[in-house]
A and B are shown apart, each in its own frame.
Chain A
Amino acid sequence: MSHMSHMLQQPSTPSSVASTSSRTMSLMEKQKYIEDYDFPYCDESSKYEKVAKIGQGTFGEVFKAREKKSNKKFVAMKKVLMDNEKEGFPITALREIRILQLLKHENVVNLIEICRTKATATNGYRSTFYLVFDFCEHDLAGLLSNMNVKFSLGEIKKVMQQLLNGLYYIHSNKILHRDMKAANVLITKHGILKLADFGLARAFSIPKNDSKNRYTNRVVTLWYRPPELLLGDRNYGPPVDMWGAGCIMAEMWTRSPIMQGNTEQQQLTFISQLCGSFTPDVWPGVEELELYKSIELPKNQKRRVKERLRPYVKDPTGCDLLDKLLTLDPKKRIDADTALNHDFFWTDPMPSDLSKMLSQHLQSMFEYLAQPRRSNQMRNYHQQLTTMNQKPQDNSMIDRVW
């Protein structure tokens, strides 16, 4: 227990000076000391009882658990992976905690507390940490992969309205989510949507005239990653989340992710085929992005967002909002506030409550639990989409992709 000897007494110090804590303990005493140490503000995780594993987050497993005291209250416990122990508490986990403590909103998942396991001989006197959240019954990816779950237009509007409300709130608090995808959108059995998994989130600032932010562009699951990130932009902002919102919105009708690239190159190709070629005309400044010149991009592609999504979406205002969310130029992409004022949310059928529809489904639906079925289905959809929608004008390119 070298670390404890340090904590209680600095070995490099001659015992005659300064150190006020120079009492020595035997190994046994130290172990007992660690085991019995009381942290008044950080409860033990044993106050909850694990029920099932429900997912795999960016930095660890997620469990459903029951609070022992009440025996009725359910929580989700997200384990903090302490992979790189030598660097201490992971900075990503620390960021997630600080961000979640800051964000309190109906459409953002609620962090109840941080718990720890007792340090004992079995875990080498090192605690495991858990983030404890209010439990949500479903995630959107899980719901969409279950064909028995049917969303009416009003219900789709309610989902999107809540999603945009959540994004509006986090963006006005200067937070970027950076991992928007259907699996990170939770829905309670009462139909309340919660943005979750802030493991990649960070605070952002609006850079002054002459400076630029240098954030990592290795964020967002590939299928939901916006074009500016794929082209290497490091000075990005809230529009990265709005692109993801667009992908999720389309998914409400298509029932699986609309652009499922296997590589960044392929993802960019899919985006061009849907949203048109990347040119300085439609996107001034694109030529300055790091990868614009080094990556081969499809040329002369027309923008076909409405055309290709109309067969699924049908509702014209819905198509229009999708078109505005899936805008290539991040500066022109619609923001959460403007999107909430879009006609889509203010024409009949108006957004309608989800709880009634969800009450027919008594089992939790999570992507994690639905995985085998879902990935199959995605593959089918994938092929179908490519055969259906790609009029190969440029055969050589299609060959390379497939």
Chain B
Amino acid sequence: MKNVLDVMSLQQHVESSKAQAQALKPIDYRKLNMPGIVPLYIFECATKLKMKPLTAACAAIVYHRFFKEVKPTDYDEFLIAASSLYLAGKIKDDDCVKIRDVINVAYCTLNRDSAPLDLNDEYWSMRDAIVQAELLITRTLGFDLNIDLAHKYLLYYMKTLQDWVGAEVWNSVPIAKAAASYLQDFHHSPNILKYKPTHVAIGCLSLAMQTYGIQVPLTDEAEEGSMWYKPLVKDFTREQQWEIIENVIEVYKNEALLKAA
């Protein structure tokens, strides 16, 4: 029963955050030492850099994977964030990610009222720091930089489901948009690393369907064997589904906390 309630809280959250959006003040990242603050910074910078969503998601994964390997207190998290953005640009061949833009955006987002850095010592040492941190990250990750994002799986699953539930039902609610948003936002949480990309995709899609109350024809929620995702991912259980959903919802709860602070 708990899970059903959580979905309801999410639905309410969507409503209330619309109202909040207008009254929102920019976050002073340096002053808030709370979990989830740096990922928020990554995505704010990514938006300002006009990064493709895939590049932004990739940057977040790089960032989470790095801090899975090291002690967070050993490194300046915002520097690692800036470097992850820069590295993700290279990994995803996102042409618009230039080092100078990364520096300007990273700097001004952190120091809200400052002008971009002149080409002075501080600029060059920040540039050097980002570049060195990039090498640190690549080595720490053992140069394993083929990052398998959940997005492509989500796309295929949605294509399949679209035919299954029929165009009429599918188009009646913005389910694709919701699933894509849940997925992108899940990248705020380091917990995304705990699950396979295929499972993450199913989890987000499943949450989107519950949000809008879509039932897949000829499936039975009560029976594990006849869940709609069974033909798509064999090694996925209802338990995992609930876990992922809870994790996604946690991201939104945390966001509310951050914005309230």
Chain A positions near chain B (C-beta within 8 angstroms) = 2-13, 17-21, 39, 41-42, 85-89, 91, 94-95, 97-98, 101-102, 114, 116, 127, 202-203
Contacts and interface: CB of A to CB of B under 8 A. Distances in A.
Main secondary structure of the interface of A (DSSP, over half): mixed
B76 A17 contact: no
B33 A10 contact: no
A127 B34 CA distance: 34
Interface string B60-73: 00000000000011
B133 interface: yes
Contact of A86 (B121, B127, B141): B127
Contacts of A203: 93
A7 B133 contact: yes
A89 B91 CA distance: 11
Given A6-B128, A41-B141, 14 more contacts: A6-B126, A7-B129, A7-B132, A7-B136, A9-B76, A13-B30, A20-B72, A21-B75, A39-B139, A41-B139, A89-B138, A91-B93, A127-B135, A203-B93
A19 B143 contact: no
B142 A88 contact: no
Given A89-B135, A91-B90, A19 B128 contact: no
Interface in B65-110: 72-79, 86-87, 90-91, 93, 99, 110
B140 A41 contact: yes
Given A3-B132, A94-B145, A98-B146, A21 B74 contact: yes
Contacts of A17: 30-31, 33
Contacts of B56: none
A41 B32 CA distance: 33
Given A10-B78, A12-B122, A13-B30, A98 B99 contact: no
Contacts of B49: none
A86 B129 CA distance: 10
A20 B73 contact: yes
A7 B75 contact: yes
Interface of B: 29-33, 72-79, 86-87, 90-91, 93, 99, 110-111, 121-122, 124-136, 138-146
A87 B75 contact: no
A41 B131 contact: no
A2 B75 contact: no
A203 to B, nearest CB: 8
A19 B32 CA distance: 10
Nearest to A114: B143
Contacts of B33: 17-18, 20
Contacts of A91: 90, 93
A124 to B, nearest CB: 12
Contacts of B75: 7-8, 21
A87 B131 contact: yes
A86 B73 contact: no
A97 B142 CA distance: 11
Most chain B C-beta atoms within 10 Å of own C-beta, residue among A9, A39, A95? A39
Contacts of B78: 10
B68 to A, nearest CB: 12
* For the complex of A and B, 9 pairs with smallest distance between CB atoms: A41-B142, A6-B129, A88-B131, A2-B125, A42-B139, A3-B132, A3-B128, A114-B143, A20-B73
A8 B76 CA distance: 6
A259 B128 CA distance: 45
Contact of B125 (A6, A8, A39, A116): A6
A203 B91 CA distance: 11
Contact of B145 (A4, A86, A98, A127): A98
